[in-house]
Amino acid sequence: MSAPIDGPGIRFDKIDKRYGGLYALRRVSLEIANGECVVLAGRNGSGKTTLLRIAARLVRPTSGTVTFSGEVGSDASRPAPVGFVAHATMVYDELSAEENLLLFGRLLAVRSIAARVAEMLSGLGIYERRGSLVRTFSRGMRQRVAIARALLHQPSVLLLDEPATGLDSVSVAWLARTLKQLRDSGCTMLMSLHGESEISALATRAIRLDAGAIAADSAAGASLRSILSFNATP
Amino acid sequence: MTQDAIAGALVLLLLGADAYASFFVAPTEATMGPIQRIFYLHVGSAWTGLTCFLICFIANLLYVFRRRPRWDWLGVASAEVGLAFTTVVLVTGPIWAHPVWGIWWTWDARLTSTFVLWLLYVSYLLLRTLIEEPDRRALFSALFGIFAFLDVPLVFGAIRWWRTQHPQPVIMGGPGSGLQPTMRWVLLFSWVALLGLMTLLLRHRYRLEAMRGELQMIEREVEGA
Amino acid sequence: MSLISNATVLFGKELRTEFRSRELLTTTVVFVLMVVVLFSFTFDPSSTESRRFAPGLLWLAFLFAASLMLQPCFLREQTNDTLSALRLSVSDPFAIFLAKLAANTLFLLITELLMLPVFSILFNIPVGSVVGSLVLVFFLGSLGISVTGTALSAISAQARMRELLLPILLLPLLTPVLIASTEATAALLDPAPAFRRDWIGFLAVFDIVFLTALWLFGEYLLEE
Q: Who wins on pLDDT, A223 or A59?
A: A59
Inspect the interface and report whether the beta carbons of A22 and B219 lie closer than 8 Å.
Answer: no
> Does C13 sit within 8 Å of A92, measured CB to CB?
yes
Mean pLDDT of all residues in chain B?
A: 88
Comparing alpha-carbon positions, the chain B residue that sits nearest to C163 is B130
Chains touching B (3+ CB pairs < 8 Å): A, C
For residue range B198-208, list pLDDT tens digits in order.
999 999 999 99
Query: Distance between terminal CA atoms of chain B?
Result: 35
Cβ neighbours of residue C181 closer than 8 Å, sequence gap 6 or more:
C59, C137, C140, C141, C199, C203
A107, C87: Cβ pair inside 8 Å?
A: no
pLDDT tens digits, C180-224: 999 999 999 988 899 999 999 999 999 999 999 999 999 999 998
Residue B23 belongs to a domain: no
Please give the residue that has the higher pLDDT: either B29 or A11.
Answer: A11
The answer as to whether B21 is a domain residue is no
Q: What is the pLDDT of residue A40?
A: 93
Q: Which of residues 44-103 of B touch C (CB under 8 A)?
A: 64
Residue B86 CB neighbours (<10 A): 25
> Is residue B224 less than 8 Å (CB to CB) from chain A?
yes
**Residue B171: what pLDDT?**
61
Residue C24 β-bridge partners: none
What ipTM score was computed for the predicted complex, to two decimals?
A: 0.94
H helices within chain A, ranges in order?
48-55, 97-107, 113-123, 139-151, 169-184, 224-230
Strands A83-85 and A63-68: unpaired
The answer to the question of residue A104 being in a domain is yes
pLDDT of residue B176: 41
In which element (H, E) is residue A192 found?
strand A188-192
**Min distance B65 CA to chain C CA atoms (Å):** 10
User: A143 in a domain, yes or no?
Assistant: yes
Give residue A122's domain range. 93-154
Of A176, A136, A9, the residue nearest A82 (C-alpha): A9
- The distance of Cα B129 from the centroid of its chain, to the nearest Å, equals 20
Question: Given an 8 Å threshold on Cβ–Cβ distance, is B64 in contact with C179?
Answer: no
Q: Specify the amino acid at residue B143.
A: L
**Cα–Cα dist B131/C161, whole Å:** 10
Chain B partners within 8 Å of C161 (Cβ): 130
Burial call C193-222: b when 16+ CB within 10 Å, e when fewer: eeebeebbebbebbbebbbebbeebbbbbb
Candidates C159, C202, C221; nearest CB to B131: C159
* Residue A121 within any structural domain of the chain: yes
Write out chain C residues lying below 8 Å of B127, CB-based. 155-156, 159, 165, 169
User: pLDDT tens digits for C133-186?
Assistant: 999 999 999 999 999 999 999 999 999 888 889 999 999 999 999 999 999 999
CA distances from A81 to A61, A116, A223 (A): 17, 18, 31
Find chain C residues with C-beta within 8 A of B159's C-beta: 175, 179
Q: Cβ separation of A107 and C10 shorter than 8 Å?
A: yes
- Does residue A1 register a pLDDT over 50? no
**What is the spatial distance between Cα A149 and Cα A102, in angstroms, rounded to a whole number?**
9
* CB atoms A20 and B220 under 8 Å: yes
CB contact under 8 A, C202 and B157: yes
Smallest CA–CA separation between B170 and chain A, in Å? 49
Out of A80, A91, A109, closest to residue C85 by CB? A91
Q: Please report all neighbours of C, defined by 3+ CB atom pairs within 8 A.
A: A, B
B4 touches chain A (CB under 8 A): no
Amino acid at C52: R
Above 90 in pLDDT, residue A221?
no
Q: CB under 8 Å to C93, separation ≥6 — which residues?
A: C87, C218, C219, C222
Which pLDDT tens digits describe chain B residue by residue (225 residues)?
Answer: 688 888 888 888 888 888 888 877 777 776 767 777 788 889 999 999 999 999 999 999 999 999 999 999 999 999 999 999 999 999 998 888 888 778 888 788 889 999 999 999 999 999 999 998 899 999 999 999 999 999 999 999 999 999 887 776 666 654 445 677 788 888 888 899 999 999 999 999 999 999 999 998 888 778 766
Q: Which residue has the higher pLDDT, C41 or C67?
A: C67
pLDDT digits 0-9 by tens, B120-149: 999 999 999 999 889 999 999 999 999 999
Interface contact C148-B147, CB threshold 8 A? yes
Contact yes or no for B224 and A20 at CB 8 A: no
Pick from B116, B136, B158: which is nearest to C202 by CB? B158
pLDDT reported for residue B225: 62
Q: What is the pLDDT of residue A4?
A: 47
Neighbour subunits, A (≥3 Cβ pairs < 8 A) = B, C
Look at residue B17 and tell me if it is in a domain: no
**Helix axes of C82-89 and C94-122: crossing angle, nearest 10 degrees:** 120
Do A79 and C10 make contact, defined as CB atoms within 8 angstroms? no
Q: What is the mean pLDDT of residues A71-98?
A: 83
Q: Kindly identify which residue of chain B lies nearest to residue C187, measuring between CA atoms.
A: B165
- Nearest CA distance, C71 vs chain B (angstrom): 15
Are the Cβ atoms of C223 and A60 closer than 8 angstroms?
Answer: yes
User: Which of B130, B146, B149 best tests the C interface by mutation, with the highest count of C CBs <10 A?
Assistant: B130
Contact B141, B79 (CB under 8 A): no
Residues C83 and C73: their CA atoms lie apart, in Å, by: 11
**Which of A56, A88, A76 lies closest to A190, judged by CA?**
A56
Residues of C in contact with B165 (CB under 8 A): 183
Number of inter-chain CB pairs under 8 A, A vs B: 26
What is the overall mean pLDDT for chain A?
87
Per-residue model confidence (pLDDT) at position A234:
46
Q: How far is B202 from chain A (nearest CA, A)?
A: 23
Q: Given CB atoms, is B154 within the 8 Å cutoff of chain C?
A: yes
Are A59 and A25 in contact by the 8 Å Cβ rule? The answer is: no
d(CA A122, CA A116): 10
**Range in A97-101, B101-105, C108-112 with the lowest mean pLDDT:** B101-105
Domains in chain A: how many in total?
A: 1
Chain mean pLDDT for chain C:
93
The burial class, CB within 10 Å (0-12 / 13-18 / 19+), for A131 is exposed
Distance from CA of B166 to the nearest CA of C (A): 11
CA-nearest of A20, A103, B20 to C88 is A103
Q: What angle, 0 to 180 degrees and rounded to 10, lies between the N-to-C axes of helices C131-156 and C162-173?
A: 130
This prediction's pTM: 0.92
Q: Inspect the interface and report whether the beta carbons of C209 and B150 lie closer than 8 Å.
A: yes
Chain A contact set for B221 (CB, 8 A): 21-23
Give me the amino acid identity at C18. E
Q: Structural domain tally of chain B?
A: 1
Strands laid side by side in the A22-33 sheet: A22-33, A8-19, A63-68
pLDDT for res C75: 93
* pLDDT for the residue numbered A77: 66
Confidence class of residue A6 from pLDDT cuts 50, 70 and 90? low
Residue A107 with chain C: CB contacts under 8 Å: 6, 9-10, 86, 89-90
How far is A211 from chain B, CA to nearest CA, in Å? 9
**Does B48 reside within a domain?**
yes
Over range C12-40, report the average pLDDT. 92
Q: pLDDT per residue over C120-131, tens digit each?
A: 988 888 888 899
Q: In this structure, are residues A147 and A124 in contact, taking their beta carbons and an 8 Å threshold?
A: yes
Over the Cα atoms of chain B, what is R_g? 20
Name the residue range of residue B190's domain. 34-224
Torsion of CA B51, B57, B59, B63, to 10 degrees: 180
Residue A126 within any structural domain of the chain: yes
Chain C residue numbers touching A78 (CB-CB < 8 A): 91
Contacts of A19 in chain B (CB under 8 A): 133-135, 220
Count of CB atoms situated within 10 Å of the CB of B16: 11
DSSP for C33-85, please give it. HHHHHHHHTTS-TTSTHHHHHHHHHHHHHHHHHHHHHTTHHHHTTTTTTHHHH
For residue A30, give how far its alpha carbon lies from the nearest alpha carbon of chain C (Å).
22
C-alpha distance from C177 to closest chain B C-alpha (Å): 9
CA distances from B92 to B80, B104, B122, B155, C17 (A): 19, 10, 19, 21, 52
